[in-house]
Amino acid sequence: MPAKKNSLSADFAGREKKASVVQRFITEETPAAKTPEPEPAPEIDPKPKYYIKNAMEDAVIDEAKSALKHMANICKCDKCFYDVCAIALNTFPASYATSEQGELFRKARVLLNAETRNKISTAVFDAIEIVRDNPTH
């Protein structure tokens, strides 16, 4: 009988050894175990040092928002709003800036000039009429 006891204990030790090998294989070789931690996303500067901005955009957008608040019989969805802005902007020469300082200078030039403000208002109202009569949706 002692021989049987040794064979059972050897058999048990062999199974235990196989189980530890399998366990090591599972924990070390699975893709989840080898997948590296994702790198954090780089921080994006909300307003970079240099960029391109048409200074007329803000003036036209502000005027279009103001005008559409007080008007009836026109769709005020995003599509129509941006159509109004695009049509009005296309009547002006571009006034681009590449930095915050340049953008502020150009905006001041636009807003301080009464003639330019009147032209913006006229262009926005003309664009509103075009979009009201010919909606694109």
Range of the domain at 91: 53-133
**pLDDT tens-digit series, residues 23-66:** 665 655 555 556 677 777 777 667 778 888 898 999 999 999 99
Residue 78 in any domain: the answer is: yes
Are 65 and 10 in a shared domain?
no
Other Cβ atoms closer than 10 A to 86? 12
CA-closest candidate to residue 113, choices 105, 103, 123:
105
Are 86 and 129 in a shared domain?
yes
Which tokens belong to 31?
């893709």
Mark out the alpha helices in 30-92 (DSSP H runs): 31-34, 55-69, 78-89
Distance in angstroms (rounded) separating the CA atoms of residues 86 and 134: 14
Distance in angstroms (rounded) separating the CA atoms of residues 105 and 97: 9
Sequence-distant (6+) residues with CB within 8 A of 56 are: 89, 92, 94, 95, 110, 120
β-strands 53-54, 96-97: how paired? antiparallel
Are 74 and 113 in a shared domain?
yes
Q: Is 80 helix (H, G, I), strand (E, B) or coil?
A: helix
Are 73 and 108 in a shared domain?
yes
Residue 48 in any domain: the answer is: no
* Residue type (1 letter), 21: V
**pLDDT tens-digit series, residues 59-107:** 999 999 999 999 988 999 999 999 999 999 999 998 899 998 998 888 8
Are 22 and 70 in a shared domain?
no
CA-closest candidate to residue 120, choices 61, 53, 52:
61
Residue 45 in any domain: the answer is: no
- pTM beyond 0.85, yes or no: no
